[in-house]
Structures are given as structure tokens and as C-alpha cells.
Structure 1
Amino acid sequence: MEIKTRNRVLTTVSVLLLLGFIAFAEHFLDLYIVRILNVCAIYAILGMSMNLINGFTGLFSLGHAGFMAVGAYTTALLTMPPAVKNQIFYLAPLIKPLDQINLAFPLALLAGGLLAAVVGGLIAAPVLRLKGDYLAIATLGFAEIIRVVFTNTQRITNGALGLKGIPALTNLWWSFGTAAFTLVFLVSLINSSYGRALKAIREDEIAAESMGINLARHKTLSFVIGAFFAGIGGGLLGNLLGTIDPKMFSSMFTFNILLIVVLGGMGSLTGSIISAFIVTIANEVLRFLDESINLGFVVIQGKVGMRSVVFSALLMFVVLFYRHGLMGTNEFSWDRLLASKAYRRLRGLFKKERTEGVVDR
């Protein structure tokens, strides 16, 4: 079998297995597990979108939480029924015509992403003139500005009270489907001439500009696309949780996404997906550290925040020994997997067991 045909068959089988697992999970798995899987997929979208800006273009941006807030609030307001809006906006009425608009979830999600992209484009104009730490501080400041504005716009975002009663429209099909679309779109972009230009900017801006690459246009393109998918991820998260408020989108949210990008590898989309699942699941597995543990002969009192301490220590250990992340700048490929030592060892064990079974007969 040719290598390309083999890889195509393996990819097709993997996609079918994933679709079967999603269908099984939606009907038979516990709601808690389903929610964790949804969060994993949403974090994968956010990680890939931030990796486009930070990993592939080399821009140290910390404004992702602001774009997520724009997408989450836009999607929520457009999908909430008018009766629910009138009920929760009791301090000050929602402005017209938002108080009567009720769109389908796909249209609202797209609108949230587009509005986040517009905000990203407006921020990119003054901010992308900066570099390094100055760019990080500026984008972090703009994200905080967005959060403060949302806290004080009572007739649009309901201020500090936030939005409640958001329709729970996000499911595994939406989250995993959007993550798959994000991956396919970004892979196509990175493998195009625009993607090669972004990588050139990351490596050396002066050399890239001398080769005729328009730095401002390509940086803005990367920033806008990253903001668009961040808005999509925020919209999915808001309609998964059912309630949002400005405090959710603090700088800590951005640092969590940045942690996923660094752990997976700056410049690796599949690395961001893998690390999103690892970080999200590990964060839930370590939840028992915040609670009291009964060993039978002694009870260990839990400490609130201990989970974050242990989790941070484990991540520091991984980063120290995998300085470039789990994947570095590499992407997942069947050729690399089938040529790995782990696969050859597993294949050797399987052949050995099968040979021993034949001899026993």
C-alpha cells in the first residue's frame, strides 16, 4: 500500500471513530464527562487561535480574553429569547433592537466571531507597531479595557450582573465540529503563501520585509483571524455554561490559554489540541486536592488552591524537560507515529504474543 493511500485510510478511519465516539458520548456518557469534553474542544479552538498569533507569527499577544468576551456576549445576546432578556435586565432595559433579536445559534456564533475580528482589527492598528514585551502589555491592557467596558455598559451587557439564562446550545457536535473546522482552516492558511509569510515574519522581520512581505498587512491578518476564532470559542463557552459575567474574562483566562500553547509547542496546532485535553482533564482529576481525603486511619484536610499549586508544579516539570513543548514546532503525522520507538515496541510485543499463541496450539 502506498504511503499516501495508507495515511488517507488511517485518517478516514480516525474520523469515523471520532464521529462514533461523539454520538456515543452524547447519548450514553455522564453529563459531567460530556461537559469536560466540550471544554476540551473549546480550549483547543482557543489554543490554536492564539498559537496562530504567538507561535506562527511571533507576536506576543495577551489579549485573547477580550476577544472571547466579545464573542461570548454577542452570541449570548443574539440567542437569548426576548422574554429572558426582559427578565434579567431589570436595573436598566436592554437597548433596541437587541431586546427583540433572537437568531439561530450558527448565525449568532458567526456574528460573535466577526465582531471579535472587527475589534481585533481596531486594536491591531495601534498595537502592532510595538514588539515583544511592549506588545504583550498593550494587548493585555486592551483586554482589560474591554472587560471594564463590559462591566459598565449596563444597557448592553447587564454590567457586573452578567447574563443568565443563556440557552445551552453548545454540544459535542458543535464544539468538536468547530475545532475540526478551525484546524483545517488554520492548516490550509499556514501551508499557503500567507502562512509562509507569517513564519518568515516570526523568524526575522527585517529579512521578511526586505523580501517584499508587507509586515503590517500580514500581522493584522494573523491578529484578526486569531480574534475571530477566539470570539467563536467564547461564544461556544458562553452557551455551554449558561451564564457569563465580566469577571470570567480576566487576564488569568488568557494565561491559561497561553499555558496550553506553550505546553503543546509554539508553532504546533496539533500540539495545542493535545495540551488542551491534557490541561483540562488534569485540572479536573486534581480537584480532589481541594477537598478532605479520608485514608481510613487519618483524614487529610484539603486546602483550597492546592490543586493549582500541584498542577503548576507538574507543568513546570514538563516545561523544564520539554523546553519547546510536547510537539515543538512539529505537527502530528502518521509517518512519524508509525516510525516511533513506542509503536515499534508495541508492534513487537503484539507479534511476540501472536507467535507464542501459535506455538501453544
Structure 2
Amino acid sequence: MERRSPLLAYFAAALVGAVLVYIASAGLDPYILSIIAFIGINVILAVSLNITNGFTGLFSLGHPAFMTVGGYVTAILTLPAARKPHLLPDLPAWLAQMNWPFLPALVAGGLCAALVAAVVGFPVLRLRGHYLAVATLGLIFIIQGLATNLDGYTRGALGLNGLPELTNLWWVYGWMLLTLYVCWKLKHSSLGRTMLAIRENELAAACLGVKITRTRILSFALGAFFAGVAGGLWAHLVTLVTPTSFTFLFAFQLVVMVVLGGTGSITGAALIAAILTVATELLHPVEEAVGLYGSSQLLLAVAVLLVLIYRPKGLFGTAEPDLFAWIGKWQGRQQTHSGSKRQREV
């Protein structure tokens, strides 16, 4: 059978998704739309974390820190110039007079997050395993502390509220598509194979001439860019960003999405991110009715334990499912079933 182009399949899926987004935007109530938007944002976060944790084999918990940087930068750039002198009196005059459109502000937020990741990455990424996890977890508290104490720039613990509600399904869907495409192309490129080689055997990769530190920092910064963009989308969806909007608990939830989906699997990370977001939302009324608050986190922990015991590589491992192969197998089974049925009738 002729090999179909992955790019063609991607554009076909993107077109179908655009139609579904149009239908949802026209016919669903704001609460359901917000849940769908959170699904898209979590997909962006899980897939981008997969670049660092899945492709390169780093154990980073720093995504909430990069979301905080991206959220604040985007919020400051999109705030109306008339409100900035009152809310943020220490802002430079040139920045206080700016009122950027949403897209450049999101890109700026992502670039600032990537810059922080690159600067922090030089000392931090020399660590390994749980030492790296603790260091990136500490980055969350450092960024939260800066956001709390620089109240002339960030409004301190009060945060920035009343942000313009700029995020909608189209913005989330567009950035989700871009994240999936970039990660897919990266995984199947020479750079992606270099990252996978570092994850599998760092010493062997170094002996073959792979620049270990440079590749690690690049993966760390690229994941941080999309995390910063997701932070900006989140802030302008809920119209609020505070120093504690993105906590270390959220960092563990993102890691769980990557582990359950399969470390290195883009499809698995995206699918599990969507499932866990919906499941968490559906369990909230159950928690309130029963009075067992936090039971959703308990169920999540049990699910992780079961996956680690019975399927340690996650849902898909490092592989990506071939949709066309699945369709071909399903059609083959249907044809076989129809042929057997006709033979019995004869």
C-alpha cells in the first residue's frame, strides 16, 4: 500500500478540528467552552514538557515557573496603558505606555520564559535525576517569590486582575496545533534523534560527538517557550494571574500526564492531558456531594501506580500510533466479518 504523507494527515486532522471548534464556539455555553479551552492549554503544556522530560530524558518540574513568567509578561503588555501607572507604578515609562496586541504579547511571554530557561539551564542542567527535579522545583518558588515581592512591577500577592478576556478557542486551538506540529517535526528530525540518544545513553551520545549541554538547554528552552505561551493563554482566559496561579502541585500533574501517556509519545501526552482535564472537572461535583475533597488527586495517584506497575512505559511508550494502519486493520476486520457472514448465508 502506498505510504501516505504524515503532513497530509496532519492538515486533514487540523481541518476537522477547525470545523469542530467553529461548531463548539457557535453552539456551546461559556462553561463548556472554558473546559475545552483548558483541555487545549493542558495539551500544550503536556506536549511541551515531553520535549524536556520525554525526548531528552530530563526530570524537570519547572513548567509552572515558566507559565508564571509568560503569564505576567503577556498580562503587562496587554494591560491598557491608562491602568498601568495606577497598578504598576514602578514600570519604566516606555513599557507603561505600551499596549500590545495579543499575539505579539504571547510570543514575548514565551520568549521571556525561554530566556529564563536558558539562563537557569546552564547551572541547573548539570544535575541529574531527582537533584534536577528538586532544582527545577525550587525555580517555581523563586519565581513566585519574585512575583510577590516586586509589587511595583507585578502588584505583589494581589496579582493582576481584570485582564482583557482575549483567549478563546481559536487562540488555544491555533497554539495547540503549532505545539503539536513543532514537537512532531522535532521528534522526527536529526535534532530529535539526538535528544533521544541522550536520553537512552548519554555517555555513548557524547562519544559520538553530540553536544550534550547545548542540546539539553535547547530542549529546556523550547519547552519553556510553549509553557510561557500557555501561561499567557491561561491568564487571559481567567482574566487573572497571581504568584500562586501555577503551583508545584500543578507541576506534578503535568509530569503525570507525560508518564501516563508514555515518555516521548506526543499522542499519548495529548490524549492523557485531555482525559485527565475532563475527569478532574467531572469529579468536582462528586467531591462536593460526598464531602471527600481531594479524592480526584487520590484517584490520579492510584492510576499512576497502576500504570507504573502494569505498563511502566505508559500508554504508547515512545511510539506514535499510526492512524492509517488502525483504519486499515479495522476495514480489514470489517471485510473479513462481512465475507464470513455472506458465506454462512450461502
The answer to whether the aligner puts 1:222 opposite 2:219 as a matched pair is yes
SS at 2:283 equivalent:
helix
Change (3 A) 1:94 1:321: same
SS at 1:284 equivalent:
helix
Checking the alignment, whether the CA contact within 8 Å between 1:161 and 1:245 is kept in structure 2 is yes
Counterpart selection for 1:167 from 140, 161, 164: 164
- Per the alignment, residue 50 of structure 1 pairs with 49
Counterpart selection for 1:135 from 107, 132, 137: 132
- 1:313, distance to aligned residue in structure 2 (A): 2.8
- 1:335, distance to aligned residue in structure 2 (A): 3.6
- 1:309, distance to aligned residue in structure 2 (A): 2.4
SS at 1:307 equivalent:
helix
Counterparts of 1:18 and 1:186, CA distance in 2: 18
Change (3 A) 1:119 1:155: same
- Quick one: which amino acid aligns to residue 153 of structure 2? I
Change (3 A) 1:137 1:190: same
Checking the alignment, whether the CA contact within 8 Å between 2:35 and 2:278 is kept in structure 1 is yes
The answer to whether the aligner puts 1:15 opposite 2:2 as a matched pair is no
SS at 1:83 equivalent:
coil
Checking the alignment, whether the CA contact within 8 Å between 2:78 and 2:99 is kept in structure 1 is yes
Change (3 A) 1:195 1:307: closer
- 1:86, distance to aligned residue in structure 2 (A): 4.3
Superposition pairs of residues 282-293 of structure 1, within 5 angstroms? 282-292=279-289
- Per the alignment, residue 177 of structure 1 pairs with 174
Counterparts of 2:285 and 2:39, CA distance in 1: 20
Checking the alignment, whether the CA contact within 8 Å between 1:289 and 1:306 is kept in structure 2 is no
Counterpart selection for 1:332 from 321, 328, 331: 321
- Per the alignment, residue 209 of structure 2 pairs with 212
- Quick one: which amino acid aligns to residue 278 of structure 1? I
Q: Deviations over 1:227-286 (max 9, x none)?
A: 111111111111111111111222112111111111111001111110110010000111
- Per the alignment, residue 270 of structure 2 pairs with 273
- Per the alignment, residue 25 of structure 2 pairs with 26
Change (3 A) 1:349 1:168: farther
Change (3 A) 1:166 1:185: same
Q: What runs of 5+ residues in structure 2 fail to find an aligned partner? A: none
- Quick one: which amino acid aligns to residue 115 of structure 2? V
- 1:87, distance to aligned residue in structure 2 (A): 5.0
The answer to whether the aligner puts 1:320 opposite 2:317 as a matched pair is no
Q: Deviations over 1:183-242 (max 9, x none)?
A: 111221222221111111111111111101111111111111111111111111111111
- Quick one: which amino acid aligns to residue 124 of structure 2? V
- Quick one: which amino acid aligns to residue 128 of structure 1? L
Q: Deviations over 1:58-79 (max 9, x none)?
A: 1111111111100010011111
- TM-score, length basis structure 1: 0.88
Superposition pairs of residues 1-361 of structure 1, within 5 angstroms? 2-4=2-4, 11-86=10-85, 88-89=87-88, 94-292=91-289, 301-338=290-327, 343=330, 347=334, 351=338
How many matched pairs?
A: 344
- TM-score, length basis structure 2: 0.92
Q: What runs of 5+ residues in structure 1 fail to find an aligned partner? A: 293-300
Checking the alignment, whether the CA contact within 8 Å between 2:14 and 2:177 is kept in structure 1 is no
Change (3 A) 1:204 1:22: same
Counterparts of 1:273 and 1:73, CA distance in 2: 25
Change (3 A) 1:87 1:345: farther
Change (3 A) 1:118 1:93: closer
- 1:336, distance to aligned residue in structure 2 (A): 3.8
Change (3 A) 1:39 1:355: farther
How large is the RMSD of aligned CA atoms in angstroms?
2.5
Checking the alignment, whether the CA contact within 8 Å between 1:286 and 1:311 is kept in structure 2 is no
Change (3 A) 1:132 1:248: same
Counterparts of 1:350 and 1:284, CA distance in 2: 40
- Quick one: which amino acid aligns to residue 127 of structure 2? L
Counterparts of 1:255 and 1:119, CA distance in 2: 21
Checking the alignment, whether the CA contact within 8 Å between 2:107 and 2:229 is kept in structure 1 is yes
Change (3 A) 1:24 1:223: same
Counterparts of 2:214 and 2:107, CA distance in 1: 23
Checking the alignment, whether the CA contact within 8 Å between 1:49 and 1:226 is kept in structure 2 is yes
Checking the alignment, whether the CA contact within 8 Å between 2:264 and 2:317 is kept in structure 1 is yes
Q: Deviations over 1:291-339 (max 9, x none)?
A: 22xxxxxxxx423223332343344334433321111111132244235
Q: Deviations over 1:157-185 (max 9, x none)?
A: 11100110111111111111111111111
Checking the alignment, whether the CA contact within 8 Å between 1:42 and 1:236 is kept in structure 2 is yes
Counterparts of 2:254 and 2:332, CA distance in 1: 34
- 1:56, distance to aligned residue in structure 2 (A): 0.5
- 1:17, distance to aligned residue in structure 2 (A): 2.0
Segment of structure 1 superposing worse, 302-311 or 109-118? 302-311
- 1:99, distance to aligned residue in structure 2 (A): 2.4
Checking the alignment, whether the CA contact within 8 Å between 1:264 and 1:326 is kept in structure 2 is yes
